[in-house]
Amino acid sequence: MKKTNIYAYLSWVSICIIWGTTYLVIRIGVESLPPMLFAGIRWVVAGPILLLVLRLKKIKFPNREDFKHIAFIGILLIGFANAFVVIAEQWIPTGLASLLITTLPFWIVIFEFFIPNSYRINRIVFFGLLLGFLGILLIFWNELGNLINTEYFLGILAILGAAFSWSIGSLYSKYKRLKTHPLMSASFQMIIAGCFQISIGLILGEQNSFSLDRNGFLSMLYLIIFGSLFGYAAYIYAISVLPVSLVATYTYINPMIAIFLGWFILDERINATMIFAAIIILSGVALVQYGNLKQEKNKKIPA
């Protein structure tokens, strides 16, 4: 195995673990901090730190042509997707949020279907998609009583919006190959998206309710160091080397960690229906990934 591939797989393993913990940390932080400023400050602090480290290593700035694509990817992956997750966690449990994000590989497969010369949806993938959506319907059926609560319903929509935005951004990043170093690209994505989120927060007047208490400070510090500097940089590096469908399997692990931490620390409820839905969704995701890998393997076999 090439050295770069070893680093890529280590990056994938790190996001499997780290991003499972961030749901809990976001939930704690958003209880005392307004969502857009909470999200934005994290990135505008982490981005310049990563940029400084990269410049000390003599890694070049992006060229003008790459910069507009980097900005677009950053707005999709962080500006919208991350903001939607933070907004949603004001109103819905961490376990449910992470479980719905698990559907990310489904959206990637569906959106990729419309890209010319990309992978097609075979029978295995189709059955996996069907199974996964049955799991989602089971969650919605189980939460039917809560959906009449406007904020709870908006939280569900925000999480689905995060999955859509993250899927499109990941695919755009995959098919738009840049000459810029992946980590340099990640640093500018953080800065641009963070500024975008802070601007939205200021427009909404969130500065009037901003008060950084101990929990808020510790949450932000954790997200800056682990969620952003390690986690997001690792994700951008991993998808620049490994298949996006493979990297997206981090969603297998994240909800298990998030559900356990939400139950253990925040006393969030776990019922049999949610566990059953989680098994169905994860089984569907596994089939989607298996179908994609099988298709990729067949493509490499000469006719």
User: Can you tell me which residue has the tokens 């039917």?
Assistant: 144
What region, left, alpha or beta, does residue 122 occupy, with left being phi > 0 and alpha being psi -120 to 50 degrees? beta
Q: How far apart are CA 187 and CA 236, in angstroms?
A: 10
Encoded amino acid at 52, one letter: L
Quote the pLDDT of residue 296.
62
Please check whether residue 112 is in contact with residue 276, taking contact to mean a CB–CB distance below 8 angstroms. Answer: no
- Taking only the tens place, the pLDDT of each residue in 84-141 is 999 999 999 888 888 888 778 778 878 877 777 666 667 887 888 788 778 877 877 7
- Taking only the tens place, the pLDDT of each residue in 29-71 is 999 999 999 999 999 999 999 999 999 999 999 988 899 999 9
Please check whether residue 15 is in contact with residue 235, taking contact to mean a CB–CB distance below 8 angstroms. Answer: yes
Which one, of 159, 148, 39, 141, lies nearest residue 92 by Cα?
A: 159
Encoded amino acid at 92, one letter: I
Q: How far apart are CA 290 and CA 256, in angstroms?
A: 20
Quote the pLDDT of residue 302.
40
- Taking only the tens place, the pLDDT of each residue in 176-227 is 888 899 899 999 999 999 999 999 999 999 999 998 899 999 999 999 999 9
| Residues whose CB is less than 8 angstroms from the CB of residue 150 and which lie 6 or more positions away in sequence, other chains included | none
Average pLDDT of the residues in 266-273: 82
User: Can you tell me which residue has the tokens 């500018």?
Assistant: 188
